A and B are shown apart, each in its own frame.
Chain A
Amino acid sequence: MIEIQLNGQKKEIRAAITLAHLLDELKLKPERVAIEVNREIVKRDQWSSCVVQDGDSIEIVHFVGGGSISRCQTNS
Chain B
Amino acid sequence: MSDKLIIGGREFESRLFVGTGKYQTFELMREALAASGADVVTVAVRRVDLSGSAESLLNYIDTDRMMILPNTAGCYTAEDAIRYARLGREAGLSEFVKLEVLGDEKTLFPDNEELLVATRQLVKEGFVVLPYTNDDPIVCRKLEDAGAAAVMPLGAPIGSGLGIQNVNNIRIILENASVPVIVDAGVGTASDAAIAMELGVDGVLMNTGIAGAKDAVAMATAMNYAVKAGRLAFRAGRIPRKLYATASSPLEGALS
List the interface of chain A (C-beta within 8 A of B): 6-9, 26, 28-29, 32-36, 39, 41, 43-44, 59-75
Which residues of the other chain, A, contact B42 by a CB distance below 8 angstroms? 66-67
Which residues of the other chain, A, contact B146 by a CB distance below 8 angstroms? none
CB distance from A66 to the nearest CB of B (A): 3
B50 with A7: CB separation less than 8 A: yes
B19 with A67: CB separation less than 8 A: yes
The complex places the Cα of A43 from the Cα of B93 at a distance, in Å, of 11
Given contacts A34-B87, A39-B83, contact A62 B74 (CB under 8 A): no
Which residues of the other chain, A, contact B120 by a CB distance below 8 angstroms? none
Interface-central residue, A36, A67, A74, by most chain B CB under 10 Å = A67
Given contacts A63-B44, A63-B68, A69-B21, contact A36 B87 (CB under 8 A): yes
Which residues in chain B, 40-88, are within 8 Å of chain A measured between CB atoms? 42-48, 50, 56-58, 68, 70-71, 73-76, 80, 83-84, 86-88
Known interface pairs A59-B87, A62-B91, A68-B102; 15 further A-B residue pairs with C-beta atoms within 8 A, sorted by A's residue number = A29-B56, A32-B91, A33-B48, A34-B45, A34-B90, A35-B90, A61-B47, A62-B48, A65-B21, A66-B21, A66-B44, A67-B73, A67-B207, A72-B74, A74-B47
CB distance from A10 to the nearest CB of B (A): 12
Q: Count contacts on B: residues with CB < 8 A to the other chain.
A: 42
Given contacts A6-B50, A28-B48, A72-B84, contact A67 B58 (CB under 8 A): no
A34 with B74: CB separation less than 8 A: no
A62 with B46: CB separation less than 8 A: yes
A68 with B83: CB separation less than 8 A: no
Given A41, A66, A67, A72, which contacts B86 in the complex, CB threshold below 8 Å?
A: A41
